[in-house]
Structure 1
Amino acid sequence: MKWSEISIHTTNEAVEPISNILHEAGASGVVIEDPLELVKERTDKFGEIYQLDPNDYPDEGVVVKAYLTVNSFLNETVDEIKESINNLVLYNIDIGKNNISISEVNEEEWATAWKKYYHPVKISERFTIVPTWEEYTPVHSDELIIELDPGMAFGTGTHPTTVMCIQALERTVKKGDKLVDVGTGSGVLSIAAAMLGAAHVAALDLDEVAVESARQNVTLNKVHDVVNVAQNNLLDGIESGVDIVVANILAEIILRFTNEAASVVKQNGYFITSGIIQQKKQDVKQAMIDAGFQIEEIIEMEDWVAIIGKRQ
């Protein structure tokens, strides 16, 4: 099978929304080439594997690559992707150079092109993300291993927004909790919540491809008895009495259902939000306060923000 590689030279700020655009366009794999990875301080106490080649990274900005099947609709799909990316400026998102190039690769080349970037990574005190094709031996007896197969293009679980959400879940999830994961993507947050002791997790996403990807990962991690994956628009139809709502999505979307989250989360429950760029931090924070949440903690990593709110 032939694949078309679309490469977008952009900014860190635009990585998340552009990745979402590519997913919605039917991308069958995403690679993020960020030169900051080359200068990050690494420790070897967790057994992480890093073999990065500087030639694979841009001198500045970030390159996002995705893979689309070559078919008669490819040109239209690429045009729609370009238009959607250009429209991000309407949300005050800096898209940088926005240089877009297209090349063709075969299936074997595509498989190795993105897998070489994905290795076991310890993202918190308890959790380590491990790709399904990697061998990994836990370092500690209480270490929690999440296996992910990102073949459906919903990420590796190691993006700062996901890492901050999992760290927030570690601080808030109690045994027996009922949780809703809005915009579940790969299902990694729902899987983490189940492993932390949640009794019931609703993993929701509007994208049917995400729903299938999440179901596969939930089954892979043997938490299908706790996590129910379903296609759903935000919190539509969700009844009140939820202990935690977590949403790792664009700030603009979070702002649309903050009041609804307040009606779903029970008293002293939590609303965890992430996927927020620095420029939108105050907007989301104020919306959560106005909806009745007390801000318990703001977590920041690189250019990203996560907020933990407690319903009063």
Structure 2
Amino acid sequence: MKWSEIMIHTTNEAIEPISNILHEAGASGVVIEDPFDLVKEREDQFGEIYQLNPDDYPEEGVIIKAYLSVNSFLGETVEEIKQAINNLALFNIDIGQNHVTISEVNEEEWATAWKKYYNPVKISEKFTIVPTWEKYEAVSSDELIIELDPGMAFGTGTHPTTVMCIQALERTVKQNDTVIDVGTGSGVLSIAAALLGASQVTALDLDEVAVQSAKLNVKLNKVQDKVTVSKNDLLNGMNGQVDVVVSNILAEVIMSFTDDVAKAVKPNGYFIASGIIQQKKDQVKDAIISSGFTIVETIVMEDWIAFIAKRG
């Protein structure tokens, strides 16, 4: 089978929405070439993680690659992808150069090319993300390992917005807590919450592909007795209250449902919000506070912001 590689030169801000557009168009996974990966400071904190070739990365901006099967609908699909990316500007999302190129690769190249970007990565004091095909042994007895298969993807668990969420979960989730993960994607945050001791985790996503991907990863990490994955639009129709709500989605979406989060979180419970670019930090902060939360910690990684907020 022949595959077509679509390559988009864009910005950090546009990574998540463009990745979702590609998945919705039928891509089985995405590769993100971000020059920030070459200079991340976390290697110094957690030790050498992996080696990267600077020649694989753009001098500025970010390159997102995805692979689509070559068929009679390919041209139409590519045009729909381009239009959907252009429409992001309507939401004040900076799409940068937005330079799109298409090239053809054979199945053998496609099957292995993206794997070189995905290696075991220690992302916090406790957690290491490990791809399913890699052999990895815990360095310490308290290390927690999350295995992910990004074949259906929605991120490899190592994007700054995800890393900050996991670090925030470490600081907030207690034994037997209940958690809701809004916009679960690969399910990585739900898995992390379960491994940290949460007794019940509800993982929600509107995208059916994400739901299936999360279910596979939950089972892979043997936490299906604690994590329930469902298709749902944000918190619509959800009843009861939980100890922690975590959401790693677009800033605009976070601002649209902070009141619903306040209803879903117990008094003295926590709301972890990530996926926020620096330019929208104050807007999101104001929305969270206006819904009755107090910001107890602001986490910053590269150009991204995450808030840990406590309900009064």
Q: Tell me the TM-score normalized by structure 2.
A: 0.96
Q: Name the SS for the 1:65 alignment partner.
A: strand
Q: Residue 43 of structure 2 contacts residue 49 of structure 2 at CA under 8 Å; is this kept in 1? A: no
Structure 2 counterpart of 1:215: 215
Q: Name the SS for the 1:152 alignment partner.
A: coil
Q: Name the SS for the 1:109 alignment partner.
A: helix
User: Identity, % of aligned pairs?
Assistant: 75
Structure 1 counterpart of 2:118, one-letter code: Y
67-76 vs 56-65, greater mean Cα deviation: 67-76
CA distance in 1, matches of 2:183, 2:169: 16
Q: Residue 27 of structure 1 contacts residue 153 of structure 1 at CA under 8 Å; is this kept in 2? A: no
Structure 2 counterpart of 1:186: 186
Structure 1 counterpart of 2:136: 136
87-96 vs 210-219, greater mean Cα deviation: 87-96
| Cα deviation, residue 155, structure 1 | 1.4
Q: Tell me the TM-score normalized by structure 1.
A: 0.96
Indicate yes or no: 2:82 matched with 1:82: yes
| Cα deviation, residue 280, structure 1 | 1.1
| Cα deviation, residue 45, structure 1 | 8.0
CA distance in 2, matches of 1:17, 1:91: 11
Q: Residue 48 of structure 1 contacts residue 121 of structure 1 at CA under 8 Å; is this kept in 2? A: no
Deviation readout 1:144-202 (Å, 9 max, x if unpaired): 00000000031110000000000000010011111100010000000000000000000
Structure 1 counterpart of 2:288: 288
| Cα deviation, residue 47, structure 1 | 6.3
Structure 2 counterpart of 1:4, one-letter code: S
Structure 1 counterpart of 2:196: 196
102-111 vs 219-228, greater mean Cα deviation: 102-111
Deviation readout 1:28-78 (Å, 9 max, x if unpaired): 110011122223346488565423222211122111101112222222211
Note the 1:141-160 alignment, pairs <5 A: 141-160=141-160
Q: Name the SS for the 1:212 alignment partner.
A: helix
Structure 2 counterpart of 1:11: 11
Q: Residue 259 of structure 2 contacts residue 291 of structure 2 at CA under 8 Å; is this kept in 1? A: yes
Identify unmatched segments of 5+ residues in structure 2: none
128-137 vs 51-60, greater mean Cα deviation: 51-60
Q: Residue 48 of structure 1 contacts residue 119 of structure 1 at CA under 8 Å; is this kept in 2? A: no
| Cα deviation, residue 94, structure 1 | 1.5
CA distance in 1, matches of 2:282, 2:24: 28
C-alpha spacing 1:43/1:233, structure 2 compared with 1 (3 Å): closer
Structure 1 counterpart of 2:219, one-letter code: T
Structure 2 counterpart of 1:298, one-letter code: T
Q: Residue 6 of structure 1 contacts residue 66 of structure 1 at CA under 8 Å; is this kept in 2? A: yes
CA distance in 1, matches of 2:232, 2:43: 40
Indicate yes or no: 2:135 matched with 1:169: no
CA distance in 1, matches of 2:203, 2:185: 9
CA distance in 1, matches of 2:42, 2:237: 44
CA distance in 1, matches of 2:196, 2:40: 29
Q: Residue 121 of structure 1 contacts residue 158 of structure 1 at CA under 8 Å; is this kept in 2? A: yes
Note the 1:95-134 alignment, pairs <5 A: 95-134=95-134
64-73 vs 47-56, greater mean Cα deviation: 47-56
Structure 2 counterpart of 1:272, one-letter code: I
Structure 2 counterpart of 1:38: 38
| Cα deviation, residue 105, structure 1 | 1.2
Q: How many pairs are equivalent?
A: 312
CA distance in 1, matches of 2:121, 2:278: 25
CA distance in 1, matches of 2:274, 2:307: 7
| Cα deviation, residue 297, structure 1 | 0.8
Q: Residue 183 of structure 1 contacts residue 248 of structure 1 at CA under 8 Å; is this kept in 2? A: yes
C-alpha root-mean-square deviation of aligned residues, in Å?
A: 1.4
Structure 2 counterpart of 1:229: 229
Structure 2 counterpart of 1:128, one-letter code: T
Q: Residue 49 of structure 2 contacts residue 122 of structure 2 at CA under 8 Å; is this kept in 1? A: no
CA distance in 1, matches of 2:99, 2:45: 38
